[in-house]
Structure 1
Amino acid sequence: MDQIFKKPEDSEIILTELMLPSHSNFSGKIHGGFILSLMDKAAFASASKFSGEYCVTASVNRVDFLNSIEVGELLTLRAQVNYVGNSSMVVGIRVESQNIRTGEVKHCNSSYFSMVAKDENGKGVKVPGLIISDKNGIRRFLRSIKHIKMRNKRKIEFSAENFEAEKYKDVLKDYNVKIEI
């Protein structure tokens, strides 16, 4: 069977939702957990659209909340696949809020969700390859490769079997920690 390839645009998802008082936290701003839930929905939709399979969230890269979101603002999430492996995909998500009255748009956060395509038995399913046609696409793909390699290296370095605390005692002297081993 021939390999299928798709463009990142084939995975593009745009979700827009009005932020309601029921979405707010105690300070009256939109709750970060609600935003994360919307981001997960966007990642699922993008990866599933691209792969043609149901997808699950395997991991989430860091999420830095850059600007608070107010009740009454429109929140727009843009998601698309930036990287594909065998059954995995990295979906980039950008979140922006817009003040309806002033039209001001704020970048609230961006993140990367690692998603895995699964069959009806929960087994990983091969996903289409990715067609990259611009420098931004290459940059995003390579960024994902680097992140995956760094994550795997960190996982090995700090595994219970491989960790050597003695190697890090000098590093920790500059931090607000007291080691009593």
Structure 2
Amino acid sequence: MLLESLRLNHFERFTTSVAADYLAIFSPKEYQLYQNDEFERPRLIAKAEEDLFAKLKQQKEPQVFSSVIHSRFGEYDFDKKAFDFQPLKNISASRIEASESIYAFPKEIIFSFSNKDIVNGIPMNEDEAKKFLQSRRSLGDGIRDRRVTLELDFKFISATSLSDLIAEIVGFKVLDDKNNVIYQYKGNAK
């Protein structure tokens, strides 16, 4: 995810501190050995910067990430022919935290979805919906288990900083309690 953030933020505008941080994370022994050596440190940082540029150039297309969200579906809407299902409606942003703060790299990356409204309902015709609901485990007193799993695929499309990204949902699946796909959206994964 960090490489995506660097790619979207046009890494070349950052100082050598990003390359030094990269070196500290991915070559910690070498970094510790030369961190106080003013002769070797610049050479190592320059090499780390070259490595980062090479990795970013190799990554021509945005990487697709996945996330799993456990949620519940609502009542069936007979007009829309779909169960109410909007698990992202009240989520303004998601956050991924590092276990510790690392120099200039962000301790957390916060991202929001530009198109979260596409996860809006679980379409089914009326007969299918009735059969599906009645097949769900009873929780007692006629209450049916409405838990489902949402598997989201997304890519990052823009950034305002290293720690603030905008993502676009490129596909998703809704799985029932037996992990069967009950609805799938295949967007443009390019």
Q: What is the TM-score of this pair, normalised by structure 2? A: 0.34
Q: What is the TM-score of this pair, normalised by structure 1? A: 0.36
